[in-house]
Amino acid sequence: MQEVLELGSQRQRGSGGGPVVTPTSHGSKLVSADMHGAFVEVVRSRCSGRVGTRGIVVRDTKFTFVVVGSGDVVKTIPKEHTVFRFTVPLPGPESEGGPAQDTRDGKELVFELHGSQFQNRAVDRANKKFKWRNVDYL
C-alpha cells in the first residue's frame, strides 16, 4: 500500500507533465480535479461512524467515493453531507521544469472538500463550468 501512496503523491505533485498546483492557482485546478489515487480523510459527516475514515480513492462516482483503507478494507463513502480532507505537496523549485524533487521544506496545501458540492462524475467535472453555491448545512 505504501508504493501506491508514493505513486499518488508523485501524481499530485505534478511530475506527470501536467500543470503544477501552487498556492495561488489551486482553485480552478481543484474544481476539475480527478480524485482517483488521492489520499482522503473524512473530517465531518452526518454519520459519525465515518469520521476518521482514511484511504486512497479507487473509484469516484457521482455520489460516492470508494476508498481502500489500511488493511485493504474497501469502504464506500457517500459525498452528501460529508467533508473530506486531502493534501497536495508543494513542488520544490527544481521540479517546475525538470525532474520532480521532494516537497519544499515538507510544506503541503491542505484542502477540505465539501462532498455535497462535488457531486459530479470525474469526466463531467473536468468539462463543466463551476458555479459557486452557499453551504447551508454547516
Tally of domains in the chain: 1
Q: For residue 47, what is the domain's CATH number?
A: 2.30.30.210
Q: Is residue 133 part of a domain?
A: no
CB 50 within 8 A of CB 82: yes
Structure confidence by residue, pLDDT tens digits, 45-79: 999 999 999 999 999 999 999 999 988 999 999 99
Task: Classify residue 89: in a domain, yes or no.
Answer: yes
- Residue 117 pLDDT exceeds 90: no
- pLDDT for residue 98: 47
From CA 124, how far away is CA 121, in angstroms rounded? 5
pTM beyond 0.85: the answer is no
By residue range, what is the domain housing residue 54? 2-127
- Model pLDDT, residue 104: 52
Is residue 29 assigned to a domain?
yes
| Between 20 and 36, residue with greater pLDDT | 36
The pLDDT > 90 percentage for the chain reads 32
**CA separation, residue 71 to residues 7, 36, 39, 59, 91 (Å):** 18, 19, 15, 18, 30
